[in-house]
Chain A
């Protein structure tokens, strides 16, 4: 790799770290203000799901933005060893793989609130005799998620 291309890679990696950190901070701050995240996750489902339903479509989009701004960090994490000229550093390579996998798993975790949880909101308010149709709706949501992410990751999900 030439020095000029490595400098370009450093600038790209640095810019993506900055952009990722700033955009995720903004998205997470909005999510925290509108949904009391992450504290609300310690509450029982009977509290969380109605609060999620009350947030409406806007809250789903905030979750979507939070998910993908965090996922953006995977790119500079993967670029960093080359940007530092340390692709032969075994510890850094292992850490890079762990970090990228962590971002991917977090992305899946965030996107559950976009693809799966919206179908659980009505179910939390339903009487037991009325749950079956919504459970079917939830099943359809999972199927669309499977189409989106592939069956392997959906099973892990």
Chain B
């Protein structure tokens, strides 16, 4: 799951398909969540370094990030969607506004 969120976050940062802050937060949250694996490894490898807060911060942060991902999808139309909608005339106001601005100038 961490691999999924990390890959998605990097994709967001590179493509800007979603807000960049979401990608940056996703990278941080994934890294913290990854540190929680030390807690699991410590059960099999005595003395393995454990950061106790990694579980709480990582899982809580990851949950909030997933919710934020959902909110971003709901609130922000994608650039590709907006562009294709504009080309097909689904958002006529955008072109009308640009045209009228150009005309008046």
Specify which chain B residues have a CB less than 8 angstroms from the CB of A20 in the assembled complex.
66, 70
Q: For window 50-86 of chain B, which residues contact chain A by CB distance below 8 Å? A: 55, 63-64, 66-67, 69-75, 77-78, 80-82, 84-85
Closest A residue, CB atoms, query B87: A3
Interchain CB contact under 8 A, B17 and A4: no
Name the interface residues of A79-125: CB closer than 8 Å to any CB of B.
80, 83-86, 89, 91-92, 94-96, 98-99, 102-103, 106
Q: Contact size class for A?
A: 35 or more
Are A7 and B81 touching (Cβ within 8 A)? yes
Determine the main DSSP class of B at the interface with A: helix
Q: Given known contacts A7-B77, A99-B1, is B55 in contact with A38 (CB within 8 Å)?
A: yes
| Contact between B66 and A103, CB atoms less than 8 A apart | no
Given known A-B contacts A6-B81, A7-B77, A21 and B7 have beta carbons under 8 A apart: no
B1-23 interface bits toward A, Cβ cutoff 8 Å, 1 = contact, 0 = none? 10111011011000101100000
CB within 8 Å of B: which residues of A? 2-4, 6-7, 10-11, 13-22, 24-25, 38, 42, 73, 76-77, 80, 83-86, 89, 91-92, 94-96, 98-99, 102-103, 106
Interface residues of B (CB under 8 A from A): 1, 3-5, 7-8, 10-11, 15, 17-18, 39, 43, 55, 63-64, 66-67, 69-75, 77-78, 80-82, 84-85, 88, 90
